[in-house]
Structure 1
């Protein structure tokens, strides 16, 4: 999402070079290139960060409520504004609800359907540039029963890995009904790790056991899909914390997704979620009655000139490699 309380340092120079960013002006990150390779990972070591030994205990209800939503604010890109001037538009197919769907389409509303998604989805908290910040994440099926998927910028941004990283599944208004799970390791795709390429804005965390139990034994897990194509019925979930939302509850959007025709190879979905929702899951084949589906993207960004739309990276081979690395860690 582009509605951010944090401006990465790598963006400031570009903004200065292009002048003041006016209301309604497009802000988008030009894709960078990076050599392929295995995902880079770091261990969330409190001895290195100087934080309290018990990271989970550090994240009190007060600190979680006070955490600021973390999202991207990339610089203006002339290529995209040129395309807009030539009349390029997002092509949205007619909306057809999947069989048995009631919360479809939806541009942003509290999720009241319960089911598995209410326990696998959660808020992510961490320290970024000395600040307490938040994103969203989701527990997925994995060999280690401890894997959380999120956005790349929710584990690393502006060239630095976040610290004090925890996942709080089923979060509600400062409460952690299923516990606070500390990351033993955070990872991202090689493209995001090397150059923060928005096309590969996918991250993962492997969390430590809590009270002798593994994460997905406690909250359940969602399936994952890779290389499954575009133009699908999608459900997106997250914990937006920027106005008009406050991060206290799980919000969802749904509708027929399309492929971004402007700048990236991402999925596009009609959705008004704001900062803090980054890293929340996108599901295809989602069953409202059970709250289960196949995760095939995460909330990543939005264009300021195009309110009401959100974008998520395509889960291709690099996302799959990241998932495999995480689930076997």
Structure 2
């Protein structure tokens, strides 16, 4: 099977574990870490020098969308998939990947993530959440560390708009992930967070606002998913969304699932419960993570449980 990062992962990587297998489409020498990672057991931390000066509009537009896709490798799973296609709620989505035109807070708190991975510029998505330090951006685990290497030159651009950074570029001082993702790239724990720099004008929370975040929530809720898909047919220029009923992945993970056709680059974008289209606010309970090639137009995101909460507490206190 191959794993696709938020369907946007599909063209860049594949994952191996049991019936799954992962290969990287970016086979270049690993870049040197800027600082030594600190793995304390409950959270894996990478410290770096915050510097966003080199991320020009052209460099952002040309960044490769990070994507991860899981494809079938056995007849058994393929047969099961055909059964699942008749059971899963494909028809219950109000949007499966449309440009967000509703305005509201999400147009500021959500944004694009840019970084260097194995010597190549790449992109994901992220979102600012409320925190004690006012500096926490939530994304996917593979958007901070992948295939044994921490990403470098990591910046977040809230409200990104076709190369423009209306609220500035915010470089990470620390990126973090769960120990399960750091050690084994466990899809159930594909959660990453960044503590971004504080500027002379204040924190990122003071600049763009925040969204609520929650852990150990109910399953099966209606949710809104946001991100910046950059693989065809998208180009990463605009904020895109999906919304509809969710379900629990019945195959390899315990992740949330949703009918959504966003592609590479949307990885790390927020999933909101209780989302209010009028205000653009909700409660973040997951991120875009991966999809199966044999279940087209479906997105999966990790359940925010105790491990994600521990990660958030560490980032919030940094």
Matched residue of 1:58: which SS? coil
Which whole-Å deviations, capped at 9, do the CAs of 1:134-179 have from their partners, x for residues lacking one? 0000000000000000000000000100000000000001000000
Q: Quote how far apart the aligned CAs of 1:213 are.
A: 1.0
Which of these residues, 48, 51, 57, is aligned with residue 53 of structure 2? 57
Q: Quote how far apart the aligned CAs of 1:7 are.
A: 3.0
Matched residue of 1:134: which SS? strand
Aligned length: 292
Quick check: 1:325 aligned with 2:314? yes
The 1-side partners of 2:57 and 2:139 are apart by 22
Match of 1:48 in 2: none
1:168-207 maps to which residues of 2 (within 5 A)? 168-207=157-196
Q: Quote how far apart the aligned CAs of 1:236 are.
A: 0.2
The 1-side partners of 2:66 and 2:22 are apart by 22
Q: Would the alpha carbon gap of residues 267 and 16 (structure 1) be closer, same or farther in structure 2, given more than 3 Å must change? A: closer
Quick check: 1:81 aligned with 2:85? no
Match of 1:308 in 2: 297
Match of 1:100 in 2: none
The 1-side partners of 2:12 and 2:90 are apart by 34
Match of 2:30 in 1: none
Q: Quote how far apart the aligned CAs of 1:305 are.
A: 1.1
Question: Is the Cα–Cα contact under 8 Å of residues 10 and 158 in structure 1 kept in the other structure?
Answer: no
The runs of 5 or more residues in structure 1 that have no matched partner are: 18-35, 46-53, 96-103
Which whole-Å deviations, capped at 9, do the CAs of 1:287-306 have from their partners, x for residues lacking one? 11000000000000111111
Q: Would the alpha carbon gap of residues 16 and 43 (structure 1) be closer, same or farther in structure 2, given more than 3 Å must change? A: closer
Matched residue of 1:57: which SS? coil
The 1-side partners of 2:303 and 2:41 are apart by 18
1:103-118 maps to which residues of 2 (within 5 A)? 105-118=94-107
Question: Is the Cα–Cα contact under 8 Å of residues 284 and 293 in structure 1 kept in the other structure?
Answer: yes
Match of 1:7 in 2: 13
Question: Is the Cα–Cα contact under 8 Å of residues 144 and 327 in structure 1 kept in the other structure?
Answer: yes
Match of 2:3 in 1: none
Which whole-Å deviations, capped at 9, do the CAs of 1:107-158 have from their partners, x for residues lacking one? 1111011000000000000000100000000000000000000000000000
The 2-side partners of 1:4 and 1:210 are apart by 36
Which of these residues, 137, 143, 146, is aligned with residue 157 of structure 1? 146
Which of these residues, 189, 213, 217, is aligned with residue 202 of structure 2? 213
1:153-302 maps to which residues of 2 (within 5 A)? 153-302=142-291
Which whole-Å deviations, capped at 9, do the CAs of 1:61-96 have from their partners, x for residues lacking one? 0100010101224564536335336x344432984x
The runs of 5 or more residues in structure 2 that have no matched partner are: 1-5, 24-39
Q: Would the alpha carbon gap of residues 8 and 129 (structure 1) be closer, same or farther in structure 2, given more than 3 Å must change? A: farther
Which whole-Å deviations, capped at 9, do the CAs of 1:17-53 have from their partners, x for residues lacking one? 9xxxxxxxxxxxxxxxxxx9411000123xxxxxxxx
Structure 2 length normalisation: TM-score?
Answer: 0.86
Say which structure is richer in strand. Answer: 2
Quick check: 74-83 or 271-280, which moved more?
74-83
Q: Quote how far apart the aligned CAs of 1:15 are.
A: 5.4
Question: Is the Cα–Cα contact under 8 Å of residues 155 and 161 in structure 1 kept in the other structure?
Answer: yes
Question: Is the Cα–Cα contact under 8 Å of residues 93 and 256 in structure 1 kept in the other structure?
Answer: no
Q: Quote how far apart the aligned CAs of 1:8 are.
A: 6.4
Q: Quote how far apart the aligned CAs of 1:308 are.
A: 1.2
